[in-house]
Amino acid sequence: RLKDLEVAELGDSDVHVKMLAAPINPADINMIQGTYAILSPLPAVGGNEGVGEVLEVGRRVAALKPGDWVIPAGSGLGTWRTQGVFPEETLLKVPRDIPVLCAATLSVNPCTAYRMLTDFETLAPGDSVIQNAANSGVGQAVIQIAKAFGIKTINVVRDRPDLPKLVERLMALGADHVITEEMLRKPEMKDIFKSIPKPRLALNCVGGKSTTEMLRHLQPKGTMVTYGGMAKQPVMVPVSAFIFRDVRLRGFWMMQWRKDHAQERESLAGMMDALCQLIRRGQLAAPACTQVPLQDYKAALEASMKPFTSSKQILLL
């Protein structure tokens, strides 16, 4: 429900923020449904991501000033609101010279894509990555960041009525190959590997059959990282892939990475800086977005849960 609440009083270490824009991500929906690994104490404000402008700061706040742009440093901030008062340590400053939609969608999907491309395999220009759900927010970020790093991408999507349009859009972002899940099983896959090497890294956010098919194309000793389970089916792995090809299966959760690196401000700052540089150079754009005024939040929530969505709903606050 949309409710009017009193803005909390500003404490000495607090920051009063006017929210500008906040996306609806799958994890936000899962938190509301009560199925996510982290649940906010109720009553709660939804939204884990977004960008706001600082209106006022408490007298002990040193790193932020009115006019600065901020994004959540962790999860559970409750970004689907027009204003809020937050402790300084829950916010991260971001540059104001990047587009507002890039800032609003910076802290979850691009960070997830960046970490998965850099933390699990040492990839060099010319290497390749395969991913499913390539039209998701993370998938779009993976395509663009990999392109900037000189890494080739094989992008798997579900077959759909407007497939040619989706293929065109992903190719425009820098995808090297866009294929359907059915194609993973076909001999034509051999043609792809005539021009690029087999991937050392697979990124999985679907599970089920899609995972098993992707694994078949992974190099021996390659790594598959699972960061989502859209099919709500387990990851199935043939025994032969473990024994004869020694593949590694890993998991990744951005919230956990933030917790593990909470004391290392420089590693977080380094990642944010690298992503903002890519945005400034035009190498990383916000995902395809539909901008919705806050009062139309019900329509935005419904649209975000429809199948084959390729556009992220962004609440304008």
Residue 163 has a CB neighbour count (10 Å cut-off) of 14
The DSSP-derived string for 42-62 is SS----S--EEEEEEE-TT--
Rounded to 5, what percent of the chain is helix, strand, coil? 35, 20, 45
Catalytic site residue 297? Answer: no
Report the alpha-carbon distance of residue 52 to residue 93 in Å, rounded.
Answer: 10
Check: CB of residue 94 under 8 Å from CB of residue 272: yes
**Dihedral, 218, 222, 225, 230 alpha carbons, nearest 10:** 10
Q: Which of 36, 114, 227, 297 is catalytic?
A: 36
The owner of tokens 């607090």 is 14
* Tokens at 258, concatenated: 């933030």
Strand order in the sheet with 223-226: 177-180, 152-157, 128-131, 201-204, 223-226, 248-251
CA-wise closest residue to 73 among 93, 101, 45, 43: 93
Report the alpha-carbon distance of residue 79 to residue 20 in Å, rounded.
Answer: 9
Q: Is the peptide bond before 43 cis (omega within 30 degrees of 0)?
A: yes
- 3 state DSSP class of 23: strand
* Tokens at 22, concatenated: 């906040």
Report the alpha-carbon distance of residue 128 to residue 147 in Å, rounded.
Answer: 10
Active site residue ranges: 36
